[in-house]
Structure 1
Amino acid sequence: MRAVQFARTGGPEALELVQVETPSPGPGQALVRHEAIGVNFIDTYFRSGLYPAKLPCIPGGEAAGVVEAVGEGVTRVKPGDRVAYIGGFGGYAEAGLAVADRLVKLPDGIDTRVAAAALLKGMTVEAFVRRCYPVRPGQTVLVHAAAGGVGQIMVQWLKAIGAEVIATVGSQAKAAKARALGADHVILYREQDVAAEVRRITGGQGVPVAYDSVGKDTFEGTLASLARRGWFVSFGNASGPAPPVDPIRLMRGGSLVFTRPTLFDYTATPQELEESAAALFEMIGSGKVKIDIGQTFALAEARRAHEALESRATVGASLLIP
């Protein structure tokens, strides 16, 4: 089968299309024939060497398709089931192995492309706005990169909760997108002082929670935007890793809370995984959250997909299609 791998860490040019043997499922595993593959920033972190990976590596931890075969002891899914999964490696291929207990069965109304575009990003939003910091109706929330894949879902989900959303984006086109999604206020973070704008919008109070997937470039502005006892939820490094956090700064800033959550700690058990996915599919099914597949690439174009993602030229979700 065809797959995309990197044998050395580096830029997008490290990705290469190769032929590999189609794997066979072992005990507790399922082989999924991919119909759509999610492209996420975490894939670039492994490729660049920011996060460690065993080489050669087939990246990709999000895909959707049809179960082709199951290994010994698997009863949760069967061949022919439509499924999606997140986590691990091996997604950038025509088929991939997954732990059967980590597969999510897709409801009839959820297309495989939507699932591959939404599962990782959407469950991340579910975990962070419902369980990491449970946002309440009427609260004002700061969302960075609001026109990105996670940001778009987060803005819509927060509006469904009844929150007031302050969105930051990098261009006028993305500002228009954020407003169309329901953002109440939009800040162009390259041109405006984010913290000053947040203080102006909130009457000097700041926000009780800020969701920051950008990292280095937005760190100081996010920290300065928080209200007393505010939460800084850091979950990405799009502009580079955020700097170390001095606990004294958190105290002096107003007893602030800094957290660096990962979705996998919020979907650690099969029950948590199913409940998170069910909440996401309910939001999509209700129309409260619409999934924007902004761009698709052929599997062989994985390098171009990474180039677009890292240059922030993408809007919404990106997919590879085998």
Structure 2
Amino acid sequence: MTKAIRITRNGGPEVMEYVDVELGQPGPGEALVRHAACGLNYIDVYFRTGLYKQPLPAGLGMEGAGTVEAVGEGVTHVKPGDRVAYAGRPPGAYAEARTMPAAFLVKLPDSISFETAAAMMLQGYTVEYLFNRTFPLKGGETILFHAAAGGVGLIACQWAKAIGVTVIGTVGSDEKAAVAKAHGCAHVINYKTENFVERVKEITGGRGVPVVYDSIGADTFTGSLDCLSPLGMMVSFGSASGPVPAFTLNELANRGSLYITRPTLFSHITKRETLESMAANLFAMVESGKVKIEINQRYALKDVAQAHIDLESRKTTGSTILLP
């Protein structure tokens, strides 16, 4: 038996239960991983509340790091004893150990700790595909990145600075503004005290930005469109404040023939070669020291409800991990 978090219904943090589960041997294409640390991400809230659907009862958690204990038939890229990390479906990382699809596992360099890996895989992969694949940045651009002091945001600010990109970031407090600034965000806007559209126009001399990366959703969507220069791209990759409201295509036309996309990590990592390329790019950034992973919150796995409360109330900065 092993301990894991399970939900039998959707709802608030109270629906998560810390229970004993039986782990079978890994089947074909699977691996048994003993976690040293698990990651906490906003997507976990979406699955918990039912915004993202999955059959119940179910586990939660999309990323972790640990040691392979056993592999099933056909698994050759990892073996028992390997240090590994992952981000991927199905949810179930909130556990001491789990049997999971081995296709999402990548070997972890010795220079990167389990805790760092658990804090960075999903968020780091996200920045990698946003910057290298969704709207490829070449250097010299000025971009708008919402939630700049969050886990994805702090990685994005550092990554952007490393490749010569200027970040305008939004945050919800002066304390978070200081954190974002310290991690390479050139212009920080506190959206609670400033109009971020007006500030973006002021910073860019009225031109706007070529791309907005927005994980907030409902609260920032229209304003984000207003920050774009003609032919700019709106990248909506999350819904922390709720789903984006319905809009017509004329909204894009009226603002200068804008583009919009709603990418997901999981569309990118279905191909093994893409996954390995993304992991290599992420590991290289972290090993170089250009991107430092800030683990600002640690919770025991059994205290996951409090972790969700703090995450949803936007009390957290940087990355959060759960320790089995």
Fold similarity call, TM over 0.5:
yes
Q: CA deviation at 1:101?
A: 2.3
| Alignment partner, residue 6 of structure 1 | 7
Distance 1:72 1:139 in 2: 47
Is the Cα–Cα contact under 8 Å of residues 4 and 18 in structure 1 kept in the other structure? yes
For residue 216 of structure 1, give the secondary structure of its aligned residue in structure 2.
Answer: coil
Distance 2:103 2:188 in 1: 41
Aligned match for 1:224, one of 223, 226, 235:
226
- Alignment of 1:105 with 2:118, yes or no, is no
Alignment-mate amino acid for residue 82 of structure 1 = R
Q: Which runs of 5+ in 2 are unaligned?
A: none
| Deviation by residue 1:122-142 (Cα, 9 ceiling, x = unmatched) | 011000111110112111000
Is the Cα–Cα contact under 8 Å of residues 39 and 119 in structure 2 kept in the other structure? yes
| Alignment partner, residue 187 of structure 2 | 185
Is the Cα–Cα contact under 8 Å of residues 215 and 237 in structure 2 kept in the other structure? yes
| Deviation by residue 1:100-148 (Cα, 9 ceiling, x = unmatched) | 2221100111111111100110011000111110112111000100000
Q: CA deviation at 1:23?
A: 2.9
Aligned match for 1:159, one of 126, 148, 161:
161
- Alignment of 1:215 with 2:188, yes or no, is no
Q: CA deviation at 1:249?
A: 0.6
| Deviation by residue 1:172-193 (Cα, 9 ceiling, x = unmatched) | 0000001101111110112211
1:165-180 to 2 correspondences below 5 Å: 165-180=167-182
| Alignment partner, residue 56 of structure 2 | 55
Is the Cα–Cα contact under 8 Å of residues 23 and 99 in structure 2 kept in the other structure? no
Q: CA deviation at 1:152?
A: 0.4
Q: CA deviation at 1:268?
A: 2.0
Aligned match for 1:284, one of 279, 286, 295:
286
Aligned match for 2:305, one of 298, 303, 306:
303
| Alignment partner, residue 262 of structure 1 | 264
| Deviation by residue 1:87-108 (Cα, 9 ceiling, x = unmatched) | 1111111111222222110011
Distance 1:258 1:10 in 2: 31
- Alignment of 1:147 with 2:149, yes or no, is yes
Is the Cα–Cα contact under 8 Å of residues 39 and 320 in structure 2 kept in the other structure? yes
For residue 72 of structure 1, give the secondary structure of its aligned residue in structure 2.
Answer: coil
Is the Cα–Cα contact under 8 Å of residues 233 and 258 in structure 1 kept in the other structure? yes
Distance 2:261 2:246 in 1: 12
Task: State the TM-score, normalizing by the size of structure 1.
Answer: 0.98
For residue 92 of structure 1, give the secondary structure of its aligned residue in structure 2.
Answer: coil
Is the Cα–Cα contact under 8 Å of residues 85 and 98 in structure 1 kept in the other structure? no
**Percentage of matched positions with identical amino acids:** 55
Task: State the TM-score, normalizing by the size of structure 2.
Answer: 0.98
| Alignment partner, residue 80 of structure 2 | 79
Distance 2:247 2:208 in 1: 19
1:104-123 to 2 correspondences below 5 Å: 104-123=106-125
